[in-house]
Chain A
Amino acid sequence: METLEQIKSRVEAAVAGAQLTVVPNDSPVAQPSLLVDNAHAVAVAGFLRDDPELQLDYCSNMTGVDWPEAELTEKIKVKQVVDGVEKEVEEVKKTLRPGCLEAVYHLYSMAKKHGPVILRLRTENRADKNHLPSLTPLWRGCEFQEREAYDLFGIVFDGHPDLRRILMWDEFKDHPMRKDYVEPDDYEYEPTPHDELVEKVKAHQAKEASV
């Protein structure tokens, strides 16, 4: 299979205006992925599916990722002139990473027996701009998995044929896989609390004592 860079340049040539970014992966699997802009996502995905070289006709997995807003700190070395001598000084650089929700698609080709090509789509933020285009019209197998991402992460897929909750009940309001999900407080009976559980039990008991 072509490398992701080659795929990227071919997609950009084929789909006018598409903005793609290769997201590197520095874990041992070293499997980079393609970040696609939402406006062209369906066109890009359609190209990947129908291109005779790639023929990515099978979406094996679709899942969500929650990226809460976070302050990233990294140490960088800066050259500074101290008392006329040039020195390397370590500085801590802080950057604010805006929060977003991400949908990840793993695409394979049954015909060509290659893959995966990993697509990422990102929402603008985690609160109100949580819409993404649905890829279910292209890969029917995404239907339930997009519903699951809608249910557990709160990503709204535009163009999905039947966007309802799939695991939790319809009346449920929260999105349990989000990092800031607050679970119901049912820690009445924990005979052997340990680790974080101790804190939860203490919080529950404090609440009960105050009532």
Chain B
Amino acid sequence: MDQGLRSELQKQGVFTTTLEEVYNWGRANSVWPLTFGLACCAIEMIAASMSRFDLARFGAEVFRPSPRQADLMIVAGTVTKKMAPLVVRLYNQMPEPKYVIAMGACAISGGPFKQGYNVLKGIDRYVPVDVVIPGCPPRPEALIHAFMTLQEKIEQQKLTGPHRARHLDPDAPSEFPVPVYGEHDLVPPKNPQIWQPPVVQR
């Protein structure tokens, strides 16, 4: 149904919608993040959830203490190699549909500690990331912007067809292999199924 007819009907007091819209509207406005901070970025995430910035306005007021009750993982901070397997494990324990926001330079790429021996160069090496926020740290507004971007993304998701949301596709994986602690590095150092180095144009 096109938008013109719809608003015409609305003037007559007839409201139309689709199942997809209602479903996505409900999901987008009740995203519950996992209480989960790793470093300095977590302070900004906490600030975003408090009264001054008030993430609750977007339906995300309850930070869940258990991955089984959460559907958004905000990777807020430096992912050390010692922590990375636990992050992946937490992600695996979250029920579908689930989303990941990589917050800050560290979660995206290792940030200021990129060349360190102990820091993972981006959480997207092990879990799929939906929204990234650059910054060190990103301000709470930036996190809210990322959250709204995620909401838009959820509202665009299809329920059927080849482009349907990942959680509705029985073939798409919902768990990812947890890396193990090796003698020199994590094994494997990345999950090539979901992460390939971007081609750098020079």
Contact = CB atoms under 8 A, between A and B. Distances in A.
A172 B181 contact: yes
B181 A171 contact: yes
B107 to A, nearest CB: 15
B173 to A, nearest CB: 22
A176 interface: yes
Given A168-B118, A183-B117, A173 B200 contact: no
A183 B114 CA distance: 12
Contacts, number: 39
Contacts of B185: 184, 186
Interface in A163-187: 167-174, 176, 181, 183-184, 186
Nearest to A171: B181
Interface residues of A, number: 18
Interface residues of B, number: 16
A170 B150 CA distance: 38
Interface of chain A: mostly helix, strand, loop or mixed? loop
A122 B121 CA distance: 36
B197 interface: yes
Given A188-B197, A189-B200, A197-B115, A172 B121 contact: no
A183 B113 CA distance: 14
Contacts of B81: 169
B189 interface: yes
B82 A169 contact: yes
B170 interface: no
A184 B189 contact: yes
B125 to A, nearest CB: 9
Contact of B184 (A170, A174, A197): A174
Contacts of B115: 197
Given A169-B82, A171-B183, A174-B184, A186 B118 contact: no
B182 A171 contact: yes
Given A171-B181, A171-B183, A189 B121 contact: yes
A181 B183 contact: no
A191 interface: yes
B198 interface: yes
B83 to A, nearest CB: 10
B200 A168 contact: no
Nearest to A208: B197
Nearest to A191: B200
A73 B117 CA distance: 32
Given A170-B181, A189-B121, 9 more contacts: A167-B82, A168-B118, A176-B117, A184-B184, A184-B189, A189-B197, A189-B200, A190-B200, A191-B200
Interface of B: 81-82, 115, 117-118, 121, 181-185, 189-190, 197-198, 200
Enumerate the 4 nearest inter-chain pairs by beta-carbon distance, A residue then B residue, closest first. Answer: A184-B185, A188-B197, A189-B197, A169-B181
7 contacts: A167-B82, A169-B81, A171-B182, A173-B184, A186-B190, A188-B197, A189-B198
